[in-house]
Amino acid sequence: MNWLYRLERKFGKYAITNLPLYIVMLYAVGAVLNIMSRGTFYYQYLSLNPYLILHGQPWRIVTFLVAAPTTNIIFLVFVLLFYYSIGQSLEQVWGTFKFNMYVLVGVLGTIAGAFIAYAVTRSPFIFMDTYYVNLSMFLAYAAIFPEMRVYIYGIIPVKVKWLAILDVVLLAGSFIQGGVGTRIAIVVGLLNFLLFYFSTRNYRRVSPKEVHRKIKYKREVSRNAGGARHRCAVCHRTELDDPNLEFRYCSKCNGNYEYCNEHLFTHTHVK
């Protein structure tokens, strides 16, 4: 965590505010170009291909960022809205600079992975896009909000933790069956997630003092009149008011305070 704080103090002023919006806009531009060219323009002129970069097309180091997650225009709208929502949530939780760093590390890792794959295989047909960058963003979101529900096709509710588990299983299958380029891309995507997950995780929550405080607090809230086990210290809602609410303790507050997911990162710390 310290290395992120040091970087933020030094370079935080250069962070791009509302980066999720710009990411979605890039994808929208890429989708339009792909539709107008009937699916050929991106791979012919914009995709991340180390062989072509080293043979006179250096712009591909940047232009691969416009690769849209899907070519289906109807499905694309829902996907872009979903990624925008995820990006906004991560930016609110981590802050603008840390979210910028997460995306930057993912992008640089993808570029490095493409050149490593080319150095190993010498294949001119290595193409990479932002698929694993987006996947690492989703895994980060699932780690922070595992109980949040998303609605597939706007109808079927599924908790994000189950989707994340499914993605990991599919990644394992791709790693086993895929080539060198695929394996390197998967490793880079997961390393980005693991790096930030362990760098920003609050280990104080599992200390003996924190465990004792949580047990004591749960005993107190269990006496609530309505039988609720959790109560937000800001809005006073419980899981009985809304079963979709998540509750977390704040390690920065002095005392036994629990907050719902809407106020966990916005409340004023009790000192």
Is 248 found in the same domain as 152?
Answer: no
Q: Using the predicted structure, report yes or no on whether residue 209 has a pLDDT greater than 70.
A: no
Asked, for residue 63, whether it belongs to a domain, the answer is yes
**Per-residue pLDDT at 11:** 82
Any idea what the Cα angle at residue 189 is, between residues 47 and 134, rounded to 5°? Answer: 65
> Cβ neighbours of residue 258 under 8 Å, at least 6 residues apart?
217, 221, 230, 231, 232, 233, 247, 248, 249, 250
Last residue of a domain, one of 151, 180, 200: 200
Is 168 found in the same domain as 53?
Answer: yes
pLDDT tens digit sequence for 62-106: 888 888 777 677 778 888 888 898 888 888 888 888 889 888 888
Is 92 found in the same domain as 18?
Answer: yes
pTM for the structure as a whole: 0.67
Is 251 found in the same domain as 134?
Answer: no
Asked, for residue 270, whether it belongs to a domain, the answer is no
Where residue 59 falls (left for φ over 0; alpha for ψ -120 to 50; beta otherwise) is alpha
For the chain, the residue count is: 271
N-term to C-term CA, the chain: 23
Give the CATH number, domain containing residue 117: 1.20.1540.10
**Per-residue pLDDT at 22:** 92
Q: List the one residue out of 257, 262, 218 whose CA is nearest residue 242.
A: 262
Is 176 found in the same domain as 215?
Answer: no
- 164 compared with 210, residue with greater pLDDT: 164
Asked, for residue 66, whether it belongs to a domain, the answer is yes
Is 176 found in the same domain as 217?
Answer: no
Q: Using the predicted structure, report yes or no on whether residue 135 has a pLDDT greater than 50.
A: yes
Mean pLDDT taken over the chain:
80
pLDDT tens digit sequence for 138-194: 888 888 888 888 777 667 788 888 888 888 888 888 888 877 777 877 787 777 787
Say which residue the tokens 């290595």 belong to.
126
Query: What is the tally of structural domains in the chain?
Result: 2
64 lies in which domain range? 2-200
Is 241 found in the same domain as 158?
Answer: no
